[in-house]
Amino acid sequence: MKHTTYQGHRISYNAKGKGPAVVFLHGFCEDSRIWDDFKQDLLEEKYRVIVIDLPGFGSSDVIEDISIAGMADAVLTVLDALKLNEVVMIGHSMGGYVSLAFAEKYPERLLGLGMFHSQAMADSEEKKANRQKSIDFINRQGSALYVKQTIPGLFAPNFINSNTFLIEKLSFRASQYAPQGITAALAAMKNRPDRSPVLSGLQCPVLFIIGKLDGAISWENSMAQTHLPARADIHILEKVGHMGMFEATKQTQSIVRQFVQFCQNG
């Protein structure tokens, strides 16, 4: 992977293809490799696809005390290194939080924003307490057991039973991340503000991909945000949990491709 630096820390990324730029941001306890197969659809359609390892994940350095807004600034360094002025940005889960923070700070750089199993609302007090418990557990026990328990819960139950190899692979990858990177991301998510007003003020189109069986983002929060943007493209996946890029690959590829094409023509 290539890399640039943010506050003296390495931020890794890959950029492939030629044409209009689409940036994919992964979620918590993931890295840019979750898009390896997914992005082929856009590459074949003659787009330039950029995938980024957020701080603490993949090949990017851990940045302790990083915020979601800080992650957005790290993404900006990649776009500046690539001399990209306008992009469509698609964020999965935590990547959606980062995308919204990016939209808050740099709206002029976005042709479109995709919330892929993500939300604008801040954590509830209960969710914040659970994230702190996770941080405390990892600090005491390390991260291996934590990710082994966390990753399967991202998928719909029926998908888990027939895709054990994939889930084991993702769990193994997550176990390789530095525990300090995982806890830094947990703290960043816990402390992020409500960015619902960002959605309300965006001029660019916003895509929502919502899993009806998502156990990580509540159905109520997923749906409550969809009326906020001036232009929203809403897709509800009936049998999908939190990982539509794997659970419904062709369907979500088609949704993202059509959204990107709309943003470029629009």
List pLDDT tens digits, range 186-200: 999 999 999 999 999
Q: How high is the pLDDT of residue 265?
A: 85
Q: How high is the pLDDT of residue 56?
A: 98
SS3 (DSSP) at 266:
coil
Enter the tokens of residue 57.
């994940």
Contact of 98 with 75, CB cutoff 8 Å: yes
Sequence ranges of the domains in the chain:
2-123+193-265
Contact of 61 with 180, CB cutoff 8 Å: no
Q: How high is the pLDDT of residue 181?
A: 98
Fold of 2-123+193-265: Rossmann fold (3.40.50)
Q: How high is the pLDDT of residue 243?
A: 98
Is residue 205 within a helix (H) or strand (E), and if so which, with residue range?
none
pLDDT beneath 50, residues of the chain: none
Enter the tokens of residue 176.
């390789």
**What are the backbone dihedrals phi and psi of residue 202, each rounded to the nearest 5 degrees, phi first?**
-70, 135
Distance, in Å, from the CA atom of 200 to the CA atom of 161, rounded to the nearest integer, reads: 39
Enter the tokens of residue 152.
């399967």
Q: How high is the pLDDT of residue 108?
A: 97
Enter the tokens of residue 101.
């923070």
Distance, in Å, from the CA atom of 204 to the CA atom of 94, rounded to the nearest integer, reads: 20
